[in-house]
Structure 1
Amino acid sequence: MTVVEPNRLVHEALTGDLRAWSGLADDSRVRLEHEQLRTFAQRSEERFDIVELALADNYRPISSGAFTLTEDYALTVEAVESYLRLCGDDGVLVLTRWLQSPPSESLRTLGLVVEALGERPALAHVVAFRSFQTITFVVKPSPLTPEETARLLEAIDRLRYDLVLAPEMPPEMLNRYARLERPIDHELAVALATAPDRAAFYAAYEFEIAPPTDDRPFFFHFFRWEQTPEVIENLGRRWQPFGGSGYLALVALLLFALVAAAVFVVAPVALRAGFRAALRRAGARRAARTLGYFTAIGLAFLFVEVALIQRFILVLGHPTVAFATVVGALLLASGLGSWLSPWLPWRPAIVALVLLLGLLAGLAGLLAPGLLALPLPLRVAAVVALIAPVGLLMGVPFARGIGALGEGSVPGMDATLVPWAWAANGGASVVSGVVAAMAALSFGFTPVLAGAGALYLVAAALTPPRGSAART
């Protein structure tokens, strides 16, 4: 038996203070591995009879929406595909999740399995059964034989579970022990497993249950905007199976960020009579062009930063490592880009940045499986190498814009607007981190990077024609 434990403290306890109590570390039949699940699945050449993804999450934090904003790369379509590859010829994957009413987590888990199986019919590969609070999926990469199905059904009956899904589904095994008004879990599971258009099934369901991917790895995000009135009405009264209150916390944070940006960044400039006079003297056209430019690059910078931090958690294995690596690399590279900006063409540099963002968005997903097989230092180096060119060019727009304003050497740019440029850029930076997180939850990391590219294109369009020439 191989036990993969991603939590360092748990692994140290099992091999240290709790060694004698657990007995696992001294059992010759057991091998303890401290590794992220995805990293182990990608590196391992072994094949197993049973691959079990244990239910380690507490029920109440999930149902209250506490994990809504948390990415989980162990529960994505690509993750389930990697677990299925670990199964031997007759091996099975076992996943257990919590049940909610109406069903949400169980349907999303089944969606993961169905999408990971690809063109293989789910009814030939999956057996699912439930207790009062949990549902378990047994998934075999190759079709279940009649004998295997019969043995599983016999065990389900003997252990007094309720059948949810199987190649053969005797009606008497449905909704027997943990009785509901109707076998809703069974009905919805069959509907999803046999749906000719699964995307339409996901879209029509009352909760957001589309299977998470590595580009949008938010397994516990079930919120739809249509649920807002019910979520608000029931806040503090009962658990929220769709985690709506967790998502609405971001909405509240966005409102707070808008107020904070207005009060602490924009207001100090707006309250100075001299700065207001400068804005009037610049004229509406020039002021709009300048403020639009610096607002766009302020929004775009944090869009890129937030998306890359969350995207590279998969490769680097831990949010802290990803944050330190991505932020450190981007700030160092953008600082170098700002220093080099006088010798770089202004508008072409922004256009090149947009192209690099598109390339990076594609490469991040394609290279992730290969990078997971590398030691951590090499993964860190690879991530830095991937994002450094983007960071270098991200340092150009602000430095060139402020330089042009300060010198007053470019038509359309007015030196008296420098304080307003700082305020617009700073205010946008305060707000954009929250907007980027909300966009990632709703659409994924690639659309966030695409949004950053669009904002940089807006900035490129707002640069004066003469700004494309290098300054000396």
Structure 2
Amino acid sequence: MGLPLTLSAAPRALAFGVACVAAAMLLFELAVTRLFSVLFFYHFSFFAISLVMSGLVIGGIWSARWGVREMNEHAYRSRLSALGWMFSAAMLAALFTTLALPPAGATPSLSAVAVQALVFLPGLVAAGAFLAAAFARDKAWIGTLYASDLIAAACACIAAIALMRIVQGPAVLLVPSFFAALAGVIVAPARSLHRTTSALIGAAAGVVLIANAMAGGSLLHLQSAGKESPLVERWNEYSRIQVIDGGSDARYIIIDKSAATVMMPAPIEADGQPPRARGWWKAGPQYAVYRLERPLARVAIIGVGGGRDLLPPLAHGAARVDGYELNGILVDLLQREFVAYNATATRPEVALIHDEARVGIARSGKNYDVIQASLIDTWAATSSGGFVLSENGLYTLDGWRTFLSRLSDRGVLTMTRWYVPDAPAETQRLVALAATALGDAGIADTRSHVMLISSRPAGNVAFTMNEAAAMGTILVSKSPFTPDEVARVKDACAEQNMVLLAAPGVASQDAVIDRLLDAATRRQAIHSSPYNIAPPTDLQPYFFLQLRPSDVLELSGKSFGPVTEITFNGVRVLMLLGGSALLLTLVVVLLSVLGLPGPVGRASALPVYRWMTLYFLGIGFGYILVQLGLHQRLIIIVGHPTFALSVVLFSMLLGTGIGAAWASKLFAKRGIRAAGAAILVVLVALLVCFPAFPAFEQIESQAVRLGVIGAMLGGIGFVLGFAFPLGVVMVAPTGEWAVQKMWAINGAASIAGSVLAAVIGITLGSQFVIAAALLCYAIAIVAGSLAEAKARGSLRDELASAQRTTSLV
């Protein structure tokens, strides 16, 4: 039998206050991830978020000395209200400080990132202290309060998508500031100074939000890295889009920090007709595929961007060009806002399709003569854990199998990536991906099915970068390239000063590429490379992380140009962050274990307290590993990063919240051991069923598919929701500070767990992230069961002692 639970109800005001703070925290995390992705790069964004979220841990430790159980009601509510308005005010101060700071450079240092991130830390400290103090007041309230926390966070997850579209740019951070102030108003004693303060700060946030909206979002904006203001700036849940005037030659479109695409002038003709093809439409090393002179009945362009890739197939007479674009802002720019400058979308052959390209092509039912993707990357963080990018699914074996299956008999898949001769990891990985995908399709002689072309290395190849690099374009066909086709591509190379790196009958100029094209030497070439050039899979979809975690120290003394640093720094930052997060967790655990759970520690309570330390450490690691492992896998299956984020976060948080509310009813007598058994059964079932997840892709309806996945995740979350409230009930009697310390441990484990999920996902795959979560929960449940047994034994000893005392009297 477990320990009995009291059933007194939590105060409604406190539950609403917790909900407001939880919603504010979730909105803040999603919004600031988007902001940091613009200020830094996606991997620095991950570092910054982890740094800021450590404030929750500090807040838990800070609140541990307050004696919240002994406070009178007025003092307790005043303390919570003060934390609410401090959270709100700190968010406002951090927002305006960020707007005033100059933009970071192309490859910012970790110290620069840390300085800009730390301005948000005080607000999260206040938020962490608020929640820890709320949960510690009465163990009987934990189920209701924890459920309020999670259900509000789930609702905020859905609201965040709409808010990032409606409230443009950094101003979205005013919304969590408002909710934090609202929490201060709700929990404050009537007619108190804290209530007035909270109301004034909340009103200030609301007024600024409305004023910024009335000004079209122009009041609150980040400082621009360039001298000129952008022609257009738009934000949504994917990225920030800026259109920069490039003079009479072009408009440059900047995505987040520095990913760029170009919009060329192609206006409506003088006779009112759509733009006619010009000679320059055909130019560019990435368009060699059209020199093959194969049929062009239907062409698919992956990532329309500014529309440049739509022009060459039109110039070569394509009858139909389907342009797939994930970001609706870019589609809108071409179809409406800049249609007078570039009217390509008005051509009758062109169809712009707002969808993720891999999903759209797979479900189109069409076979294409050319599928083209030129430098498709955004380097934009998706608010969903480490290194999960919206474009990852384009560069996996599973994705290439889809593309090859949608080619006509003589169709060609062509992709362009950066080719840096001093560090050619990206191009070599593309070749490894192509050769392996062809081999999986039953093509043994891959050499006759692949051509690789490179432009001459030059500086300033990317709009915001300055590095000597070239563009490497690969052509992959299910049918062999003929000698005549190779000759035409050679002619194109001579005309445009390009280099033919590999082709049938042509000796390769790169020894590694030559070995990658040979099935007999491919594995050894991948293994011996100083870079990670193994073909990514849907279980490890990290094409852009071309440095193995194990090789970080070996390459630590080397420096590369900005284009290369973007990919190499990701793993470097990850490993540094992993060490920092584990150190933070170790410090928090040691402070908790070596200290007492209260001002006066009972010897009989210490074993329970220390076993529960391991329990909360385990469920903190376990929950975030389950959440991120599922997201790593489902972002490919759902085919839409925002839908995947919404489905995983919303469904799991909602399910966990409902499970937390039911924990006291289902396990009032059976305790942690019985709840733990249910958790382990569910996680084992998840791990066993994980390889079958691609079956979800067979569900044609997007709504039905999301509904089925959401129901599954909600069920998993429901069972995982038992762990935290039952643990609080167990640890609360051990001492006044115990709950706050366990909150800090759980938070530190979540931060470290997010890094661990990224490391395991990169090195082993998402299924091993779930396996690690199962292990963490198993350890936690063993520790919780031992604590339960210790508590039961202590209770029996105390009852026996009381009976002896009574008999003596």
TM-score of the superposition, structure 1-length normalised? 0.82
Q: Which residue is 2:403 aligned to?
A: 83
1:309 is the counterpart of 2:631:
yes
In the alignment, which of 729, 743, 750 is matched to residue 429 of structure 1?
Answer: 750
Shift of 1:434: 2.2
Q: Which residue is 1:178 aligned to?
A: none
Shift of 1:271: 9.2
Number of matched pairs: 438
CA contact (8 A) 1:69 1:247 kept: no
In the alignment, which of 704, 712, 725 is matched to residue 386 of structure 1?
Answer: 712
Secondary structure at 1:90's aligned position in 2? Answer: strand
1:359 and 1:385, CA in 2 relative to 1: closer, same or farther beyond 3 A?
A: farther
In the alignment, which of 385, 401, 417 is matched to residue 97 of structure 1?
Answer: 417
Shift of 1:163: 2.0
Distance 2:655 2:746 in 1: 19
In the alignment, which of 206, 213, 220 is matched to residue 544 of structure 2?
Answer: 220
In the alignment, which of 473, 482, 505 is matched to residue 168 of structure 1?
Answer: 505
Secondary structure at 2:412's aligned position in 1? Answer: strand
Q: Deviations over 1:13-52 (max 9, x none)?
A: 1110222322222211212211111111211111121111
Q: Which residue is 1:400 aligned to?
A: 726
Q: Which residue is 2:387 aligned to?
A: 69
Secondary structure at 1:206's aligned position in 2? Answer: coil
Unaligned runs of 5+ in 2: 1-320, 381-385, 457-469, 668-673, 790-809
Letter in 2 for 1:337: G
1:135 and 1:349, CA in 2 relative to 1: closer, same or farther beyond 3 A?
A: same
Shift of 1:248: 2.1
Percent sequence identity over aligned pairs:
26
In the alignment, which of 85, 99, 106 is matched to residue 427 of structure 2?
Answer: 106
Q: Which residue is 2:697 aligned to?
A: 369
Q: Which residue is 1:180 aligned to?
A: none
1:251 and 1:229, CA in 2 relative to 1: closer, same or farther beyond 3 A?
A: closer
Secondary structure at 1:16's aligned position in 2? Answer: helix
1:116 is the counterpart of 2:437:
yes
CA contact (8 A) 1:278 1:417 kept: no
Unaligned runs of 5+ in 1: 63-67, 175-182, 409-413
CA contact (8 A) 1:207 1:222 kept: yes
Secondary structure at 1:41's aligned position in 2? Answer: helix
Q: Which has the larger radius of gyration?
A: 2
Shift of 1:159: 4.3
1:332 is the counterpart of 2:654:
yes
CA root-mean-square deviation: 3.3
Distance 1:237 1:9 in 2: 30
Shift of 1:158: 4.8
1:48 is the counterpart of 2:48:
no
CA contact (8 A) 1:195 1:201 kept: no
CA contact (8 A) 2:676 2:781 kept: yes
CA contact (8 A) 2:598 2:736 kept: no
Distance 2:593 2:776 in 1: 25
1:415 and 1:163, CA in 2 relative to 1: closer, same or farther beyond 3 A?
A: same
Q: Deviations over 1:351-379 (max 9, x none)?
A: 21222321452233x235325x433x334
Shift of 1:221: 0.2
Shift of 1:433: 1.7
Secondary structure at 1:424's aligned position in 2? Answer: helix
Shift of 1:12: 0.4
Q: How is 1:119-138 mapped onto 2 (pairs within 5 angstroms)?
A: 119-120=442-443, 121-132=445-456, 133-138=470-475
Q: Deviations over 1:196-243 (max 9, x none)?
A: 263443222100111111111111101134543465435688764583
CA contact (8 A) 2:612 2:787 kept: no
Distance 2:544 2:594 in 1: 44
Q: Which residue is 1:206 aligned to?
A: 530
Secondary structure at 1:244's aligned position in 2? Answer: helix
Q: Deviations over 1:180-204 (max 9, x none)?
A: xxx3x3x211101114263443222
Distance 1:126 1:207 in 2: 22
Moved more, 332-341 or 35-44: 332-341
1:39 is the counterpart of 2:362:
no
Secondary structure at 1:381's aligned position in 2? Answer: helix
Shift of 1:331: 1.3
Distance 1:239 1:440 in 2: 24
1:26 is the counterpart of 2:370:
no
Moved more, 332-341 or 387-396: 332-341
Shift of 1:323: 2.5
1:303 and 1:279, CA in 2 relative to 1: closer, same or farther beyond 3 A?
A: farther
Q: Which residue is 1:346 aligned to?
A: 675
Q: How is 1:248-267 mapped onto 2 (pairs within 5 angstroms)?
A: 248-258=572-582
1:355 and 1:442, CA in 2 relative to 1: closer, same or farther beyond 3 A?
A: same
Secondary structure at 2:395's aligned position in 1? Answer: coil
Shift of 1:88: 0.7
Distance 1:123 1:457 in 2: 49
1:368 and 1:113, CA in 2 relative to 1: closer, same or farther beyond 3 A?
A: farther
In the alignment, which of 462, 473, 479 is matched to residue 142 of structure 1?
Answer: 479
Moved more, 30-39 or 198-207: 198-207
CA contact (8 A) 2:549 2:575 kept: no
CA contact (8 A) 1:360 1:386 kept: no
Q: Deviations over 1:142-184 (max 9, x none)?
A: 3334444444445445544322222211x5xx6xxxxxxxx3x
Letter in 2 for 1:352: V
